[in-house]
Amino acid sequence: MQRPEVIVVGASAGGVEALVELARGLPADLPAAVFIVLHLPVDARSMLPTILTRAGPLPAQHAVDGAPIHPGTIYIAPPNRHLMLDGSAMRLTIAPRVNGVRPSIDVLFRSAARAFSSRVVGVVLSGTHNDGALGLEVVKLRGGVAVVQDPEEARFAGMPLSALKRVQADYVAPVAEIPALLTSLTWGDTASPSEGRQPALAGHREEGIAPVDRDPTPTPPDTQPSPLDPLSAEEKVPDAASGLTCPNCHGSLWELTDGPLPRIECRVGHAFSVDAFLGQQAIALEEAIWSAINALEERSSTLRRFASRFGGSLRMKEDYEQRADLVASQARLLREGLARVIQAEEDGRAS
């Protein structure tokens, strides 16, 4: 394995504390550049560069579109911009959201893997949902190293668990141990993990770093496919559409399963892993049902309002009240049905 030149890190909820711990432990002479995506609201003001600069010896700054890459520096994706690497420089884009977020960890990881092949270490830290899992698999497919924070000590275990379900990680470690591992890898002291085992997805706890066997005969990076790359115009022909609808823009979706990673993308570029798509679809379904409940309850209220104005016509008043009761009962049934659907989704994710 070539000595890594780029470390890409993804974090979400609970990620600031993990990133501070990471920055605190990295040495001032780290011979690699560090790139970070932290999920933030689009209108948030990111203070992460200041926080990380104060936490450790490496300078931290927001990535700048077109700027060159320097080792020993931490670069952070600004809010509402995808961060990508093209080998000689960093790029910021306002491309469509991936897995419902911008910046996306998957976007950073896949671009780093494409540009640097086996000279990449991907790190997934605390967070909810599953952004980063597919990107980390691309890092592995290109010959890089996959590192995941131990889910048991992560403040939010969703992202580490999703990554471990998707990827045979090379190392699973408490965040306090990850800086020493990254330093060792980038200085070439640890060319590959020693004999180890894939950790369990629950109940896993090791003292220090848990190495995992890597594939001894990976496909050469230059012959590997490029999963998660945007679909070409030729692939987005009308008769190849999946029949599914994009939960963001409501356009047609294309589903490709010919490569190692299933991917779903709409015409304009909204892209999803399967789990992320199902999650966004569930949100859209819930919002549609809430909209229907609101319309029914509003109609029931309107019928009752007009029923109260028919004081001189008992028949009209009773007719409006009966219709209002019927519509209210329909709204109530929808509420109860929605609660059952949400509970079933939660039970399915927990199993």
What ranges do the domains of the chain cover? Answer: 6-221, 238-272, 282-350
pLDDT at 135 over 80: yes
Per-residue tokens: 244: 């599914």
Q: Among the listed ranges 153-167, 194-208, 314-328, which one has the minimum average pLDDT value?
A: 194-208
Among the listed residues 39, 82, 129, 270, the single catalytic one is 39
Determine the straight-line distance between the first and last CA of the chain, rounded to whole angstroms.
37
Residue 174 pLDDT class (50, 70, 90 cuts): very high
Whether 12 is catalytic: yes
Q: Structurally, what CATH architecture does the domain formed by 6-221 represent?
A: 3-Layer(aba) Sandwich (3.40)
**Looking at 12, 117, 118, 300, which residue is catalytic?**
12
| β-pair partners for 182 | none
Say whether pLDDT at 216 is over 80.
no
Of all residues in the chain, the percent with pLDDT exceeding 90 is 52
Which of 10-24, 163-177, 266-280 shows the lowest mean pLDDT across its residues? 266-280
- The two three-digit tokens of residue 333, written as one number: 């049934």
Q: What letter represents residue 223's amino acid?
A: T
**pLDDT of the residue at 197:** 30
> Is there a contact between 138 and 110 (Cβ–Cβ < 8 Å)?
yes
Question: Mean pLDDT throughout 231-254?
Answer: 66
In whole angstroms, give the CA distance from residue 34 to residue 38: 13
Confidence of residue 43 (pLDDT cuts 50, 70, 90): confident
User: Which long-range contacts does 80-88 make (Cβ < 8 Å, 24+ apart)?
Assistant: 80/42, 80/43, 82/107, 82/108, 83/35, 83/37, 83/107, 83/108, 84/108, 84/111, 85/6, 85/35, 85/111, 85/112, 85/115, 85/116, 86/111, 86/115, 87/115, 87/116
Q: Which amino acid is at 49?
A: P
Instruction: Choose, from 104, 111, 126, 131, the residue flagged as catalytic.
Output: 131
**Which pTM value belongs to this model?**
0.68
pLDDT digits (tens, 9 = 90+) for 47-85: 999 999 999 999 999 999 999 999 999 999 999 899 999
- Give the span between the Cα atoms of 220 and 341, in whole angstroms: 45
Does the annotation mark 39 as catalytic? yes
Residue 204 has pLDDT above 60, yes or no: no
Q: What is the pLDDT of residue 196?
A: 31
* Segments of 171-260 assigned E as strands: 171-173, 210-211, 253-256
Confidence band of 273 (pLDDT split at 50, 70, 90)? confident
Report residue 45's pLDDT band, with 50, 70 and 90 as the boundaries: confident
